[in-house]
Every structure is written in C-alpha cells, then in structure tokens.
Structure 1
Amino acid sequence: MTQAKKKNEWLEWAKAIVIAILIALFLRTFIFATSIVEGESMDPTLEDGERVIFNKIVYLLDEPDRGDIVIIKRPFKNYVKRVIALPGETIEINGSELYINGEKYQQTFLNEEAEERTGNFGPIQVPEDSYFVMGDNRAISKDSRNGLGFIKEDEIIGKSEFVIFPFDELSKTR
C-alpha cells in the first residue's frame, strides 16, 4: 500500500468519526437526552437510579398532555414528574380521589397504596401558562402541591420515552 493511499484512508476515517460525533452532538442537543431518576417520588412507575431517555423535540411540535411523564428543568436540579392538570383547569384532591374541572379522574398509573396516601388539596385553578405536576408516589413527592408550584411550559424540557438502565428493566415509560 502506498503512502498516499494510507494517508487518504486515514483522512476518510477521520471524516467519518467527525461526522459521527457531530450527528451524536446534534441528536443529544436537540432531539434526545438522558436523565437519571433521583429519589422515590415516581415509584412504582420509575425507580431511584433508573436512567431514562427523554424526547426534547416533542413539545416544540405539540404541548404536554395529561399523564405525560416530563422532565422539568430548574436551576440546580431536573425533576421527573407526571402532568396532572393542564392550563386553565381546576384541580382538587379529596383523599384518594382526583377531580379535574369537577369531574373524577381515574388515575390508572397509581397503585392503591399511593392513591390512599395522596391527601387533600385544592380546589385550585392552574394558570393559563402553566401545568400542575405530581409524582406517582404521592406521600413523598415534591411537586406542584408542595414545593415546585405550577410549572411553566418553558421549564418542561422533554417527555420521558424509555427506561434504558438498568438494562434488565429496558422498557417504554407509561
């Protein structure tokens, strides 16, 4: 193999590596990213230490919907929570029952123990530019009821799509 051919081959490899890195950076910056679930506030849906992939572009094209598991960006920490009430809706919690605009809402994502430990809250109306979020482990969750407050749309940086770690729990988030 000639010296010129070797040099050309190295240049082709270098170009391929640079292109792969640029594509990965683009995807990581604008399309998908990962986040680690910290704490037990989303039990049993998501567990402490799980790593999730979240979709960053979905809310540029659409708005968060009730039931979405979202990543919320705050100055010193990201939070993983579930959207419960949408802008302009009124929310009230009586014991284990959730009411949205006066109608009982079935929380299919909760187990009975979490429902029983929800407590009372509201009624309160969600501002037009905000969302009301809660963790699935209601008894210990820091959420819109007790510390996070209403979540502005620009604080929601993505929708959780998949659990990717630990590998034996690889699944779509629900």
Structure 2
Amino acid sequence: MTKTKKKNELWEWTKALLIAVLLAAVIRYFLFAPIVVDGLSMMPTLHDQNRMIVNKFSYEVGSPKRFDIIVFHAPEGKDYIKRVIGLPGDTIEYKNDILYVNGKAYKEPYLDEYKKQVVDGPLTDPFTLKEKIGRSTVPKGELFVMGDNRRFSKDSRHIGTIPLSKVIGKTNFVYWPMKDAHIVRVK
C-alpha cells in the first residue's frame, strides 16, 4: 500500500467517525435522550431506576396532551417525570378519588392498582386548583402535572404549574431493565 493510499484511507475513516459523532450529538441533543427514573413518584406505571427515552422533538411539532408522561426542568434544578393532568385553561378538581377536568369526570386506569391497595382514605386527597395554585384555571402556556403515586409525589400540587418552556419532551418507552422494556400507554 502506498503512502498516499494509506493517508486517503485514514482520512476516509476520520470523516466517517466525525460524521457518526456529529450525527449522534444531533440525535442526543435535539431529538432523543435517555433519562433515568429517580424515585417512586410514578409507581406503578414507572419504577425507580427504569431507563427511558425522551422524545424532545414531539412538542416541536405538537402540543402536550392530557395524560402524556413528560420530562421537565423542575424548580430545584432537577428533571422530573410526571403525567399531564391539566392543560392551559382547564379547571382541575379531585373529589371522592375522581379527577374532574372542566367539570367532567375522567377515568385514570393507571391508578386502579394503587386504589385497590388503599384502605385508609383516598389515593388522591380532594383538592381544587384554586386551593393548590391560587387560580381557578391552569395559566396559559403552563401545565398541571401529577405523579401516579399520588401520596408520594412532589408535583404541581406542591411546586405549582409547569411552564411549557421547561418541558424537555414526552416519554413513553422504557428500555431498561430489559425485563421491564415496554411502551407506556397513555390511557
């Protein structure tokens, strides 16, 4: 092999490696990112240390929908994973362990497992949005979010509504541990 041919082959490998690194960086920072579930606030839907993929692009082309599971920058500098309960303009109320959005009752089948286990009161304590955030509707450009493990979740009931600008993306695919790999159904 000649010196020129070796140099040319080395340059081709270098270009391929640079393109691969650049492509991986673009995918990681703009489209998809891994995240680790830290804690029990989304049990039984998500488990502590589950690894998930965050779709960062999903809300660039669409808007959050009720019951989406989102990742957002929380006030204390951490990223939280919670479920969207209220959209801008919604009224939210819980009574008798039932969610009411704009006066309409909603089923939350992802809570059924925990509701069966609770014997000392409701899974979700009764509240109105006014009691929790001082407003009767979710503000424009913000979301009201809650963890599925209602008794042990730090969410909008404690930290207030979440500005859409703080939302990183939507997540619904658990990829690790392999035995738990699945797509999380919204409803």
Task: Answer yes or no: same fold by TM over 0.5.
Answer: yes
Deviation of the 1:161 alpha carbon: 3.0
What is the aligned partner in structure 2 of residue 4 from structure 1?
Answer: 4
1:39-87 deviations in Å (ceiling 9; x for gaps): 0000011100111101111111111000100001135200000001111
Please give the TM-score of this superposition, normalised by the length of structure 1.
0.94
Aligned-pair distance for 1:123?
A: 4.4
The 3-state SS of whatever aligns with 1:25 is: helix
Give 5+ residue unaligned stretches, structure 2: 117-121, 131-136
The runs of 4+ residues in structure 1 deviating greater than 6 Å are none
2-structure distance, mates of 1:42, 1:56: 20
- Please state which structure has a larger fraction of its residues in helix: 2
Aligned to 1:48: 48
Residue 94 of structure 1 corresponds to which residue in structure 2? 95
Aligned match for 1:121, one of 120, 127, 133: 127
Q: Cα distance, 1:38 vs. partner? A: 0.6
* Structure 1 stretches lacking a partner, 5+ long: none
TM-score, L = length of structure 2: 0.87
Q: How far is the alpha carbon of 1:112 from its aligned partner?
A: 4.1
Structure with more of its chain in strand, by fraction: 1
Higher mean alpha-carbon deviation, 100-109 vs 110-119, is at 110-119
Post-superposition CA distance 1:92-148 (Å, at most 9, x none): 0013111111111111221242483111111432112211100011010101112x2
Match of 2:167 in 1: 156
1:77 partner amino acid: K
Alignment of 1:98-113 (within 5 A): 98-113=99-114
How many percent of aligned residue pairs carry the same amino acid?
A: 46
Q: How many residue pairs were aligned?
A: 173
Structure 2 distance, partners of 1:114, 1:129, is 31
Give the match's secondary structure for 2:83: strand
